[in-house]
Structure 1
């Protein structure tokens, strides 16, 4: 049996976002769960990355190629470090070990911007989700098509208010996680795909990350924003499939 492929999506979305990437890889066994509190998945009830990772790990196969995008990339890194039997190979899209800038970490969003984003979500979550989509398509040559695909894959916040709480927990994880110290414990081979014009997470984050992962290959995708697998799905699928089958 061929190695399974696990796809972990980003904040505020659902596994539906992977449809364009999955289409060229129809013969690969794929597990694409919704993240906790997203789509149909129950919430963890915690703003703790490890708790979310542990929930996901319980339902994933061993020995998979785990591909994470954005928040999903943080989860994939944590899986590789703390549940290594689950991860044979590690693919990261739009990845960073830390989403928020600090004195020793310039490759990220300004802390004040992240704080304002979280505050706005508390009062108008739907507007923040729309803004988040707009940030992801900035700099992308196919921004209209990518924006439509992201909007179609947004996680619903109705009718259970607990869904809004779960998404707020996800924002808290993005704001509070720093996995730079975890990287030396990751042994799996890695592939990094990153949009050249990613306005949400600068490509310099991936350039910093790549040499700190074992034998990592970094591909900067020209004319793409934060979701290169939607802007250039065939190219990303070919890179991912070649890495997965290696």
Structure 2
């Protein structure tokens, strides 16, 4: 069984935070501790990331199974950021008794754009995949720079993000490549549209990876979704707009 690293803070309604591609749970520990003033917050490292053991293959099925196995057997709100959104939706699909609310933070059920959907340009993912073959570290630095593009405090936020990300060893090239494959191939729009539990989507208006326009598409799929757009935020609102993000999560958690 894969060893999954977790950390838990606070008391109250349980929330599980699932991070994104190439990251680890330490990147949003400060945000988690702020949220933990109101709830019980558990951070998990994806397999092969941070302090969690690797898993092969790194797929929606294997990773979602590993994450659920690492969390106490009770219904929780699962919050997925970026790639983490795909795992949260897969958990909601396969383990519905373990999920009572879903929050997608700078995430979407389908990451790549097409004629009917706003999303990431698939060529961006292809370029990252090609770059991984040459130099993992340089590829990750390029990826991090996209997270803070357009922010008022770009330089400081990028430095903070770099410091946090590289606290732990980088994931393997194999794990990173399979994570990109999920971003490129996963289409969970049917899962999202058929959720029967409360769902929140929180987006940054300046996000260059997940366009804010995708919020309209998600609202069309699921009219009851609680949609929040944080002005002047990019892809890492837990660093740049922590108070606004905590407030958005609290509004969702305390409703109903």
Same fold, judged at TM 0.5 (above): yes
Summarize the Cα distance change of 1:20–1:143 in structure 2 as closer, same or farther, 3 Å threshold.
Answer: farther
What displacement does 1:214 show? 6.3
Q: Is the 8 A contact 1:102 1:111 kept in 2?
A: no
Summarize the Cα distance change of 1:22–1:157 in structure 2 as closer, same or farther, 3 Å threshold.
Answer: closer
Alignment of 1:105-120 (within 5 A): 105=117, 107-120=118-131
Alignment of 1:233-244 (within 5 A): 233-244=242-253
Distance 2:121 2:36 in 1: 40
How many positions carry a matched residue from both structures?
242
Match of 1:202 among 201, 211, 225: 211
Distance 2:156 2:215 in 1: 25
Aligned residue in 2 for 1:20: 30
Name whichever structure is richer in helix by fraction. Answer: 1
What displacement does 1:4 show? 0.9
Alignment of 1:156-167 (within 5 A): 156-157=168-169, 163-167=172-176
Q: Is the 8 A contact 2:226 2:252 kept in 1?
A: no
Query: What is the TM-score of this pair, normalised by structure 1?
Result: 0.91
3-state DSSP class of the match of 2:54? coil
Deviates further, 63-72 or 42-51: 42-51
Summarize the Cα distance change of 1:227–1:210 in structure 2 as closer, same or farther, 3 Å threshold.
Answer: farther
Distance 2:162 2:93 in 1: 32
Alignment of 1:79-90 (within 5 A): 79-90=91-102
Structure 1: segments with no counterpart, 5+ residues: none
Cα RMSD (Å) of the superposition?
A: 1.9
Structure 2: segments with no counterpart, 5+ residues: 1-10
Aligned residue in 2 for 1:9: 19
What displacement does 1:212 show? 2.5
Summarize the Cα distance change of 1:47–1:101 in structure 2 as closer, same or farther, 3 Å threshold.
Answer: farther
* Correspondence 1:72 to 2:84: yes
Q: Is the 8 A contact 1:195 1:228 kept in 2?
A: yes
What displacement does 1:15 show? 0.4
1:38-93: CA deviation from partner (whole Å, max 9, x where unpaired) = 00111221142122111111112321111110011111111122211121111111
Q: Is the 8 A contact 1:101 1:111 kept in 2?
A: yes
Distance 1:35 1:213 in 2: 27
Aligned residue in 2 for 1:185: 194
Greater relative CO, 1 or 2 (CA 8 Å, sep 6+): 1
Distance 1:9 1:133 in 2: 14
Q: Is the 8 A contact 1:189 1:214 kept in 2?
A: no
Q: Is the 8 A contact 1:5 1:244 kept in 2?
A: no
3-state DSSP class of the match of 2:210? coil
Match of 1:232 among 220, 227, 241: 241
Query: What is the TM-score of this pair, normalised by structure 2?
Result: 0.87
Deviates further, 4-13 or 169-178: 169-178
Distance 1:184 1:128 in 2: 34
